[in-house]
Structure 1
Amino acid sequence: MASVCSGCECNYFEFIQKFYKNNEAAIAYLRDHGVLPLEVICPLCKTPCYYRAQRHDWYCGVTRKIHHRKKRCHYVVSDYKGSFLSGAKMEPYKIICFVNHWLNKRGHYKTVLQCLGLSRKTGAAWQKSFAEVTEHWLDNQEPIGGPGVVVDIDETLFGKMKHEKGKSQSQIWVFGGIERDSKNYFISPLEEPLTENLMSLIQKYILPGTVIVSNRWNAYSSISDHDYVHQVINHSGDFVDKENAKAHTQSVELLFHDVKEWTLKPGSRPHFYKQYLAQLLFQQQHTHSNINHYFFREAARMYPPDFEAEEPSSVSVAEESSDNESQESDVSDEDEGSPSTSE
């Protein structure tokens, strides 16, 4: 995990104070965290483009001599292209202030939309984009364990039983593991078929050589066939190592307690359970003073701006007149609205 930038740690209100109605500071913050590019290389001229702040784009403008004629490269690309802000038509300070609210859950949602001048539709679109970032983080959590490290694992069913004509709804299987000593952990949704997907999650999130302690579920029986030491506990009381069984139970119960308590809140929608889980775990694993830092680092990892390798679909290379008049391509300014990344 990347270290927090110097001067980046600040609480909810300090963050607002730094960036509210300050687009220049917001853009600098996004560049420092890799969300926006620090430079763009023209794919035709192989030279650095220059940034046009009013248009939020990068322009080449290099003049070359070709057969005694001067030609200027008119390669231009949006500053937001391919990034987390791709297609954004909202001022940058509004985006990062909205993220700050979404991660910390301070204030009333409608009040935040009103203060930032956003419609409910725009707010919903951006919240969907924010959720995609935390879900990406959930799917790419750092593995835990290692040779000799004891990791307790378990699975549980989240949600409530709703009986409607004999059918049960509002449920999701979740699998997790926690290091017994350091308390480092991971939690991930477990999709059907459970048995087939379980081993792939173990190999993804638990390092080889780990001592894995589990219950007697048959799906765990193949763990020892891989590069793990597998120990089994039995809650019926016939397991010899009672301390190991007790430690396993306490670790896993603590791991799932807060998440289960949260998922049972009124208004939770089953098809958003993974989104809820990702947001909650992201909040739990980062402090209020650095959570924005790690969110935008993850956004940059999910949408890395990379223009060097890009080949333009169409680039205007116009001839210059003999008196060296400057020609520039027409690029429209950004309009206000919601992001295309959420569509």
Structure 2
Amino acid sequence: MEDARCAGCNPHYYKIISDYLGENEKSLLFLREHGVLPRSVSCPHCNLPCKYREDRHVWYCGRWKKIAKTKRRKSCVFSTSDYTGTFLQGTHLEPFKVVLFVNHWLQKHWDHETVIKCIGMSKTSSVDWRSFCSEVTQNWLQNQNSIGGAGVIVEIDETLLVRRKYNRGRQLSQVWVFGGIERDSKKKFVVPLVGSDRSADTLIPLIKQFILPGSVICSDGWAAYRNLKQHGYEHLVINHSENFVDPHFPHIHTQNIERVWRDLKEFIKRPGMRADYLQQYLSRYLFIKSCETPLHNFFTEAARLYPPQGGRAREGPLPPPIPMEEDSSSESE
């Protein structure tokens, strides 16, 4: 993923707030720079550029065309909303609220209460936009490449993320997750497991899916990993009942994936956490941890998932309004 920033793109949480709070036109420009909104739209009937009406945020054609076999002319009635087909389609939120919501949602300690009080969103809108944002990060996660490669060390492990407290109260399934991390690049993956099944029949297919053949896999002595060499991997094992780091071969350890588990649990475990939304929590965590400029990357990913109708026509600043051809006969008609 590219981490280069657009003009006006700033990674600092409070700077984004100060720059865009109440600034709808500036927010619209920000969204265009990231490809979320179109920079130009072509009329599907005339195959020519449309004009943009800023007060209504509408693209329209309005060109006068001659009616075949007559002396009359008619105006093209094509028009479309600036939001049509985009990440913002159907929303009634002001543009600056979209930018600030996403800015807050990409923070570790995000919460509904903050955006409801500070941005003026309803609880329903906040819940809906959490789902919209999660859709972007889940789509991003599904399109990530496998990690590892020939000679690349990948640490793997599984951990219990959710369980019923004191074996009382509402019945919650145990939720286990399995993951891996490249030791040098820190590229990672985390996937939920079905129930508490951590058998070789479950874990080996996941390893093949997320880790490239030829990788050097470092794990603990869990029985499901015993036959990794038969699947094209080099396998290093650390016995955690004796040491966390092999005293004779210090490169044999799983310290990095253990650190991921500590970070993940601190990041997503909170009162009210629902196992049904675990995939959303995981995709958000991995997205934020994988991007140097999460806000920039989020909106470029949103543009890929929901490409605007006009596309990203060209690089550079937003073009000026397109002049309409004048027709002297239009006044008499």
Amino acid corresponding to residue 176 of structure 1 in structure 2 = G
- Does the Cα contact within 8 Å between 2:136 and 2:302 map onto a contact in 1? yes
Structure 1 equivalent of residue 316 of structure 2: none
- Gaps of at least 5 residues in structure 2 are 312-326
> What secondary structure sits across from 2:252 in the alignment?
helix
Map residues 156-195 of structure 1 onto 2, 5 A cutoff: 156-162=159-165, 169-191=172-194
Q: Which has the higher contact order (CA 8 A, sep 6+)?
A: 1
The yes-or-no answer on 1:29 pairing with 2:33 is: no
Change (3 A) 1:165 1:20: closer
Structure 1 length normalisation: TM-score? Answer: 0.76
- Does the Cα contact within 8 Å between 1:19 and 1:26 map onto a contact in 2? yes
Structure 1 equivalent of residue 277 of structure 2: 272
Map residues 32-47 of structure 1 onto 2, 5 A cutoff: 32-47=33-48
Structure 1 equivalent of residue 235 of structure 2: 231
Aligned equivalent of 1:81, options 76, 80, 84: 84
Structure 2 equivalent of residue 117 of structure 1: 120
- Per-residue deviation, 1:272: 2.2
- Does the Cα contact within 8 Å between 1:58 and 1:77 map onto a contact in 2? yes
CA distances 1:92-122 after superposition (whole Å, capped 9, x unpaired) = 0111112112222679753532332222222
CA distance in 2, matches of 1:125, 1:220: 41
CA distance in 1, matches of 2:99, 2:48: 31
CA distance in 2, matches of 1:117, 1:167: 33
Structure 2 equivalent of residue 67 of structure 1: 69
Amino acid corresponding to residue 230 of structure 1 in structure 2 = E
Structure 2 length normalisation: TM-score? Answer: 0.78
CA distance in 2, matches of 1:136, 1:107: 21
Change (3 A) 1:264 1:20: closer
- Per-residue deviation, 1:18: 1.4
Aligned equivalent of 2:95, options 92, 97, 103: 92
CA distance in 2, matches of 1:57, 1:200: 50
Map residues 126-205 of structure 1 onto 2, 5 A cutoff: 126-162=129-165, 169-191=172-194, 198-199=203-204, 201-205=206-210
The yes-or-no answer on 1:56 pairing with 2:57 is: yes
Change (3 A) 1:147 1:128: same
CA distance in 2, matches of 1:162, 1:41: 58
> What secondary structure sits across from 2:155 in the alignment?
strand
- Does the Cα contact within 8 Å between 2:63 and 2:75 map onto a contact in 1? yes
- Does the Cα contact within 8 Å between 1:234 and 1:245 map onto a contact in 2? no
Q: CA RMSD in A?
A: 3.4
The yes-or-no answer on 1:5 pairing with 2:9 is: no
Structure 2 equivalent of residue 336 of structure 1: none
Structure 2 equivalent of residue 315 of structure 1: none
CA distance in 1, matches of 2:14, 2:170: 46
CA distances 1:275-319 after superposition (whole Å, capped 9, x unpaired) = 2222233333345xx3211221221222222457xxxxxxxxxxx
Q: Percent identity?
A: 44
> What secondary structure sits across from 2:185 in the alignment?
coil
